[in-house]
Amino acid sequence: MTATPLELEDVWRREAPYVLAVLVRAHGHFDDCEDATQEALLAAATQWPAEGVPTNPRGWLIRVAQRRLVDRTRSDVARRRREVSLVERSDARWDEERAGSGDVDDSLYVLLLCCHPALTRASQVALALRAVSGLTTTQIASGFLVPPTTMGQRISRAKAAIVQAGGTFPPPAADLWTRTVSVRHAIALLHTEGHLSSSGTTLTDPGFSTEAVRLARLLATAAPHDPENAGLLALLLLTQARAEARTGEDGSLVPLELQDRSLWDADAIAEGVRLLETALPTGPVGEFQLQGAIAAVHAEAATWDDTDWPQILELYGMLDAVAPSVAVTIGHAVAESRVHGPRAGLRRLEALAGTDHHRVHATRGHLLAETGEVGEAVEALRRAARLTRSIPEQRYLNDVLRRLEEPGRGRDV
């Protein structure tokens, strides 16, 4: 069947984690398997637009990737025995029909493999995202607030470190708990990219968000006794519930205070709240339960004015103590401003004075506008608009700037 470029991209993104999982389970060498998967995707990018998408795209990709692995092993005499074993085991376990049936999902285990204890937490998360999510190196770099070249080097070093450490599949049970911590962060970053794209002409990427929710469900099902897994799933559901209301008909960004809350997904909100009500009493309370609780307070407010900001401020204080970050400080500053006024929020934001990220400048610009310091607000918002690579965010910030610079508008932004 024929498909548009966007439809082809969706197929590649959806199938790549499964293909990589099949190869790693059969072959056991992550770096070779990741390279072979990428080569299969490149082959598909060349052939599918002309020949059409195969009836079983997953099986096609697995077969091509396996051939790439065979080609690689043929060039190395020392690995000839592994070549024979690879082909025999692949034929026995991963025939094309089963590979396309969807009855096996090893994507969660590949995430765990990427989170090898020999790597730093940041490298674990970056490699996991690169292997399973379909995110580009640039998108991953945005989530870490580092340049793409730095992230590319980090991912390359991480793959080499796993090879040197002798990463196995599936990972040893003894260190699954510590790996799970990094897996949660990888899934959360994947959802963040889907919820608010770091670059491009569209505000969101539902494919990433949907995949993140799917992985979070897998994780919560695989380890139901860890309340943080339930907290992560709750956070993603409560955030995803607002998806339809976050963009206007023209694709423009609609801020939380202006969203039509009748468009929010009541079923997703109810499920997220139920998960939190079950998880929170079991303790200990971790960062994802706290983030989920903040999202629940927003979700349960009938209007913007009904938002329980004192409760959100208290939750941010707890979150800042458990897992401080740039995003947490921004959220904490906004909550502080709603409870104690914009100057209190600006004081909280001073901790990020050396962080040149567009959301820091955007938040500072909004708070300065509320204090009536229009000149400084304009400077901060212009800086934010220049830094963001998201066209919808840039348009929104420029619209705020236009309104702010209108005579007599001042604080009314």
Give the per-residue pLDDT at 168.
58
Mean pLDDT of the 9-34 span: 76
Rounded mean pLDDT of 394-399?
94
Q: How far apart are CA 235 and CA 128, in angstroms?
A: 20
252, 392 Cβ separation under 8 angstroms = yes
Q: Which amino acid, 147?
A: P
Does 66 map to a domain? yes
Nearest C-alpha neighbor of 341 from the set 371, 297, 315: 371
How many domains does the chain divide into? 1
Give the mean pLDDT of 359-379: 96
The type of residue at 261 is R
* pLDDT at 166 exceeding the cut of 80: no
Task: State phi, psi for 229 to the nearest 5 degrees.
Answer: -65, -40
Q: Is the model's pLDDT at 93 over the cut of 50?
A: no
In a domain, 263, yes or no: no
Q: Which residue has the tokens 């995430």?
A: 111
Residue 34 belongs to some domain of the structure:
yes
Q: Read off the amino acid at residue 167.
A: G
**Where is average pLDDT lowest: 1-10, 116-125, 151-160, 267-276?**
1-10
What is the reported pLDDT for 145?
67
Q: Which two tokens stand for residue 85?
A: 């074993």
Q: Is the pLDDT of residue 307 over 90?
A: yes
* pTM of the predicted structure, to 2 decimals: 0.76
Measured at the alpha carbon of residue 231, what is the angle toward residues 277 and 14, in degrees to the nearest 5?
130
As given in the structure block, the two tokens for residue 196 are: 């608010």
Average pLDDT over residues 177-204: 80
For residue 49, pLDDT beyond 90: no
Burial of 3 from C-beta contacts in 10 A (0-12 / 13-18 / 19+): middle
Residue 343 covered by a domain: no
Domain that holds residue 12: 1-104
pLDDT for position 186: 87
Domain presence at residue 392? no
Average pLDDT over residues 188-207: 76
Q: Is residue 93 part of a domain?
A: yes
Judge whether residue 133 has pLDDT over 90.
no
Average pLDDT over residues 370-396: 94
Q: Any long-range contacts for 47-56 (C-beta under 8 Å, 24+ apart)?
A: 48/3, 48/8, 49/5, 49/8, 52/1, 52/2, 52/3, 53/1, 53/2, 53/3, 53/7, 53/8, 53/11, 56/96, 56/97, 56/99, 56/100
Within 75-132, where are the H helices?
Answer: 80-93, 96-101, 107-114, 121-128
